[in-house]
């Protein structure tokens, strides 16, 4: 099974993204990686992280005041 590329991936908006607040993030499962992009500008590229690094990022963001 091949890993889907970001253009073929199923992107979903974060449940923490606000409705009309303009700060929306989308993620896509790329098997061994997670892709992250700005939902307002999806053609502007994405960030690809390993699952471990994505977990570290979420933990650090959650610990911010």
- 40-46's contacts with Cβ under 8 Å and 24+ in sequence apart are 42/11, 46/6
Which pair of structure tokens corresponds to residue 26? Answer: 């989308």
CA 56/CA 65 separation, integer angstroms: 16
Q: What is the pTM of this model?
A: 0.74
What are the helix and strand counts (H, E) for the chain?
Answer: 1, 4
DSSP classification of residue 58: H
- Taking only the tens of pLDDT, the chain with its 65 residues reads 345 555 678 899 877 666 666 678 899 999 999 999 988 888 898 999 999 999 999 999 899 88
Strand-pair partners of 50 = 33
């Amino acid at each position: 099974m091949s890993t889907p590329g970001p253009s073929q991936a199923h992107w979903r908006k974060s449940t923490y993204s606000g409705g009309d607040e303009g700060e929306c993030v989308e993620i896509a499962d790329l098997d061994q990686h997670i892709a992250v992009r700005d939902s307002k500008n999806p053609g502007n590229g994405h960030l690809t992280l390993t699952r471990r690094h994505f977990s570290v990022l979420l933990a650090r963001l959650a610990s911010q005041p």
